[in-house]
Amino acid sequence: MKRVGLITSGGDSPGMNACIRAVVKSAIAVGCEVVGIEDGYQGMIEGRGKLMVYSDVTNIIQMGGTILGTARSKEFRTAEGRKKAHANLKEWGCEGLIVIGGDGSFTGAQILSEEFNLPVIGIPGTIDNDLYGTDHTIGYDTAINTAVDAIDKIRDTANSHRRIFFVEVMGRDAGFIALNSGIAAGADEVLIPEEWTDIKALVENVKTCLKGKRSTIIVVAEGDDAGGANDIRNHVAKDLEDYDVRVAILGHIQRGGKPTAFDRILSTRLGYEAVDSLLKGEKGIMIGVNGENICKVSLESAIKMHASPSQEKMALVKRLRTQSD
């Protein structure tokens, strides 16, 4: 294999640039060229790709976002759109494709691979950490640290004013960011999509938590079944009229910023392994990590199966609630 395509697709995540760097440098080192394709599948359809050279990836390991850009493509969901995309890959001379993204990006990659017999390797790049078959996805560690830093600052003002804060973090379908940032920041409650939220019990728990304290923090995943932080505040407001209840929505700041050392190392390892796997003739797999070890699972498994937050960690949050005397 002498030339491969590379895209970043779906939501951006800190560490994508470090992964791009690893793919390009490790490929060049063994005589394989990399065509960087702008804006994911949409750029593939529109023919916006260029041969990447060593200098293109110099001094990007510390940068957030993705230098290739990313976009969601409705056209790629059509057979005609995928034909255009594959035609451009052929014109560029790409014999394989590396996709850095989440389950939606992997679904597109698998379909493209099946329709045109194209070797494809997936690298998990999403802050949600919800892909089956890997302990960590690119950007997840950075997103947690960003959320924890913000929650620590919110706690300062919450303590000063004796306030209840509902802090909303990202996680439309998965509660990994909420659960782990909540534990790290010492939140009194964590609400995630994977667990049903009992509003009455939540109100009583909040009242209990406030005994002997000046404030309380509840971390809410945006996809919680009871709604986001604003919705939940509205649900509980009538029962907490004696308290100053506020909402903080962290939003897209969780996607940005310099990747942590963990994410830089993870991205570099996964990028290197993706190139190595393609050159060995492997295809239709996602490169992940199991503990300290690199692991490989089928794209089909990564897409169809769903990772879930630790029940042990949820039990830990509940056990550590402040109790009344």
In angstroms, the CA 319 to CA 297 distance is: 35
Residue 315 has pLDDT above 90, yes or no: no
Which secondary structure element, helix H or strand E, spans residue 151, and what is its range?
Answer: helix 140-161
Known catalytic residues are 128
Domains recognised in the chain with CATH numbers: 3-139+259-304 (3.40.50.450), 140-255 (3.40.50.460)
Q: Give 82 or 311, the one with higher predicted confidence.
A: 82
Residue 2 has pLDDT above 50, yes or no: yes
Of the candidates 107, 4, 24, 118, the one whose C-alpha atom is nearest the C-alpha of residue 66 is: 24
pLDDT, one tens digit per residue, over 257-306 is 999 999 999 999 999 999 999 999 999 999 999 999 999 999 999 999 88
Kindly list the strands in the beta sheet with 244-249, ordered across the sheet, starting from the edge strand earlier in the chain: 189-191, 216-221, 163-169, 244-249
The pLDDT assigned to 323 comes to 59
Cα angle, residue 86 at apex, residues 83 and 88 outer, rounded to 5°: 110
Burial of residue 164 (number of CB atoms within 10 Å: 0-12, 13-18, 19+) = buried
Structure tokens at 257: 């910023």
The pLDDT assigned to 325 comes to 46
Q: Give 274 or 318, the one with higher predicted confidence.
A: 274
pLDDT, average across residues 161-177: 91
Other CB atoms within a 10 A radius of the CB of residue 47 amount to 15
pLDDT averaged over the chain? 93
| Interstrand relation of 33-37 and 49-51 (parallel, antiparallel or unpaired) | antiparallel
pLDDT, one tens digit per residue, over 21-50 is 999 999 999 999 999 999 999 999 999 999
Of the candidates 194, 237, 236, 246, the one whose C-alpha atom is nearest the C-alpha of residue 216 is: 246
**What pTM was estimated for this model as a whole?**
0.93
